[in-house]
Structure 1
Amino acid sequence: MSDKAHSHDEHDAPHEGPVKTPKQLVLAVLFSFLVPIIGIILLVNFVVAGNKPAAGSEAFSEEAVAARLQPIGTVELRDASAPRVLRAGQEVYKAQCAVCHDAGVAGAPKFGDAGAWAPRVATGYEALLNSALKGKGAMGAQGGGEFSDLEIGRAVVYMTNNSGGSLPEPQAPAPEAAASK
């Protein structure tokens, strides 16, 4: 019977919580409001901070945005019946070939290097022109672009003649010959 009396006494005892003094009650109430508010403030700052550009970043400046919005290409209207002015070999070389051949990029023979050009000149004008028009090694095809095949040929002759060769400059076909084709 003593077991029953003992278990009965435990159930009749008053229940006590973790708060035992008024000071603990005030602190518990205060922290129960402050911790969520501080958490919300920190979360809002974290979310909003992602929209700010980094220090020193000019990514959103007017100039940077305008540069990204530039058109990729342009459209140029030409009169198809207007006579075409052929450009000289030196002009075509400077516009199309000089970037690689001045510096010898990717194995390109340097402009003026007779030793590097000698074996190429020995193959003849037609082989050199074919390599320029269709591409060879790291050099991409030059035919079909901004310059005509004749202008590319003039650039080939300009390069070889300034690098130890002596090829005659290709001439434009006579107007009658072009019309009969």
Structure 2
Amino acid sequence: MNKIIKGCCLVIAVASQPAMAAVETIYGASCEGCHMRGVGDAIGAPGVGNKAAWKPRIAKGIEALYSTAINGSTTNPIMMPRGGSALSDETLKEIVDYMVEQSQ
């Protein structure tokens, strides 16, 4: 029984790796141009990994971050709805989750 549980955990871990790689690829193609560390910080789009810039945004809660990604920013016109992309709500949420994980 213990081997079955360990095997299932391994399968889940391996199965999630392609999903994370896909999110990173989509982030790189659709978001990194503005959210690149150094570049993004200068234009008000916090660079991924910049903990100080992300801290107040993360403090507003994940739903606020999702809303900004989906609907655009009310305070920074550079952040257009969906970042100017055609990405789905679900994909945008996965990218936001990735960006937050990298910035805590």
Give TM class, smaller chain: 0.5 to 0.7
Residue 103 of structure 2 corresponds to which residue in structure 1? 163
**Residues 30 and 85 of structure 2 are in contact (CA less than 8 Å); yes or no, is this contact kept in structure 1?**
no
TM-score by length of 2: 0.67
Provide the rounded CA distance (Å) in 2 between the counterparts of 1:132 and 1:120: 12
Which string of whole-angstrom CA distances, capped at 9 and with x for unpartnered residues, describes residues 10-60 of structure 1? xxxxxxxxxxxxxxxxxxxxxxxxxxxxxxxxxxxxxxxxxxxxxxxxxxx
Larger Rg: 1 or 2? 1
Greater fraction helix: 2
Structure with the larger RCO, 1 or 2 (CA within 8 Å, 6+ apart): 2
CA offsets 1:87-136 (integer angstroms, 9 cap, x no match): 83212211111000102152111110001001111111110000011111
Name the counterpart of 1:140: 80
Give me the TM-score of the superposition, normalised by structure 1: 0.40
Number of residue pairs the alignment of both structures matches: 79
**Contact preservation (8 Å) 1:143, 1:152:** no
Q: CA RMSD in A?
A: 2.1
State the partner residue of 1:111.
48
In structure 1, the residue matched to 2:23 is: 89
Q: Does residue 99 of the first structure (1) align with residue 36 of the second (2)?
A: no
Note the residue ranges of structure 1 that are not aligned, 5 or more in a row: 1-85, 165-181
Distance in 2 of aligned mates of 1:142 and 1:107: 16
